[in-house]
Copies of this chain bind each other. A is one copy, B any other.
Amino acid sequence: MSLGIVLFAHGSRSAEWAAPFTRIRERVAARGKNARVTLAYLELMQPDFQAAVDELVAQSVERISVVPLFLAAGGHLRNDLPQLVDAALARHPQLRIRVLPPIGESETLLDAIADWAAAESLRE
């Protein structure tokens, strides 16, 4: 089953805001074996979620892993994202979509962020 990975980020009016997300996408693509990896934005940037899903389906992707590039789950992940997934599945009933938890639910990433915050703060 051909896998697609949608890295789902908030979006911003500021074009430079996307730079770290673009770099995460490149790194996930390098680690992701044959998976097709795309960014998708909730608002203010393109592609949006539906356009990203449609493009993956056009490339014969049959299942999609959605990775929320958010630190924590607020209204965007609890309310907006499930509606976006439902709309995508309504258009592509054969598709399988799995939504992963956000960054801040990974113990490993919480530790990595805390290590960085403490080390940078203690540096003279």
Chain A contacts to B: CB under 8 angstroms: 3, 5, 7, 9, 12-14, 16-21, 23-24, 27-28, 30-33, 35, 65, 67, 69-75, 78, 100, 102-106, 108-122
Contact = CB atoms under 8 A, between A and B. Distances in A.
A24 B121 contact: no
Contacts of A118: 5, 27-28, 31-32
Contacts of A108: 112, 116
A24 B113 CA distance: 7
A14 B120 contact: no
B73 A17 contact: yes
Nearest to A9: B71
Nearest 4 Cβ contacts at the A-B interface: A20-B104, A27-B114, A31-B118, A65-B121
A12 B71 contact: no
Given A100-B120, A117-B5, A17 B72 contact: yes
Contacts of A5: 117-118, 121
A105 B16 CA distance: 12
Given A27-B110, A112-B109, A75 B14 contact: yes
